[in-house]
Amino acid sequence: MNKNYSSPTTVRCGNAEFCWGERTYIMGIINVSPDSFSGDGLGGDIEAIVKQAKRFIAEGADIIDVGGESTRPDSKPITADEELRRVIPAIERLASEIDAPISIDTGKSAVAIRAIRAGAVMVNDVWGLKHDRQIARVAADAGVPIVITSNQRQEPCEDDIVAEVISDLKRSIILAKEYGVAEENIIVDPGIGFGKSVEQNLELIRRLAELKSLGRPILLGTSRKSVIGLVLDLPPDERLEGTAATVAIGITNGADIIRVHDVKQMARVCRMSDAITRRSKDEC
C-alpha cells in the first residue's frame, strides 16, 4: 500500500472519515443540470435526485457529488443565481435524508458557500481555483475538504502533460494553503477530459502514480468521458466497460477516489482492484 501522504493520512468529511490508502472511495455523480454530457441530468426533479442518491449509497457510494452546471466543452456558462436555483433545493433535501457526505461540484465561491450552508461538506472545483480563488477561502472557513482539478481548457499543454499537470496542481495547492486550507483537506484531480487530447488523457491514466509526488490523495474522474468514446467509438451510455478499465488501471496507479455514474458496477471493480493492489484492509 502506497504511503506517500503527508501526516495525517485521514480526513473528516462531515460524519465520515476517509483513511487514504485503506481502500478506494467512490463518489457518485448527481447531475441536476438539464444538459449533462452523459445524458443523466435530472434537472429539478427532487424526488428522482433523492432516489438516485439513496440507490448510489446502497450500491456503495461514499460521497454524493451534486453539480448544477454542465462541464462539457461546448456548454454555455450559467450565472451563479441559476446554479444556486438548481443545486440548493437538491442539497437541502439530500442533507435531510442521507447520511453520506455531500459534495458540491462548482467553480463559483458564491455557490460553494450557499451549498455548504445547505449541507454540503466537500467542494469539488473543476477549475482548480483558476476561475474563482475565493472558493479556497470558503473551504478554509468551513473546514471542509476541497478537490482541485488540473484544467487545461484555457491554456492547452503542448509538452509533457504529466509534468504540466503536476506543476499546475502544485500551484493550486500552494494557493489553497495561502487562503487557509489545511493540507489534509486538499485532494487533487488530474482533470481527465479537461482541455486534454485523447493521447494526453491516456498518458495521464498510464502515469497517474507520478502524481503521488504531490503527497495528496488523488481523485480520478473518467466515467463515460469522451476519451473512452473516442477510443471505443461508443456513445456515453455504452462506455461502461471502458470506464471499468480506466478505474481498475487508475486504482493500480494510485487513485484514492473514483468519481462515477455507474456506482454498482464500479463498486465491484473497486473491490476487485483493491483486493489485488492493497496489501491490508486493516492497515492505515
Active-site pick, 225, 271, 279, 281: 225
Q: Which three cell numbers stand for residue 124?
A: 469539488
Q: Which three cell numbers stand for residue 60?
A: 456503495
Active-site pick, 212, 224, 239, 259: 259
Question: Is 85 noted as a catalytic residue in this protein?
Answer: no
Q: Which three cell numbers stand for residue 133?
A: 480563488
Calculate ∠ Cα 273-163-225, nearest 5°.
Answer: 50
Contact between 138 and 123 (Cβ < 8 Å): yes
Which residues make Cβ contacts (< 8 Å) with residue 221, sequence separation at least 6? 189, 192, 193, 258, 259, 260
Q: What are phi and psi of 62, to 5 degrees?
A: -100, -25
Q: How far is CA 103 from CA 46, 67, 196, 200, in A?
A: 17, 9, 25, 27
Contact between 86 and 68 (Cβ < 8 Å): yes
Question: Is 55 noted as a catalytic residue in this protein?
Answer: no
Maximum separation of any 2 CA atoms in the chain, in Å: 47
Catalytically annotated residues: 225, 259
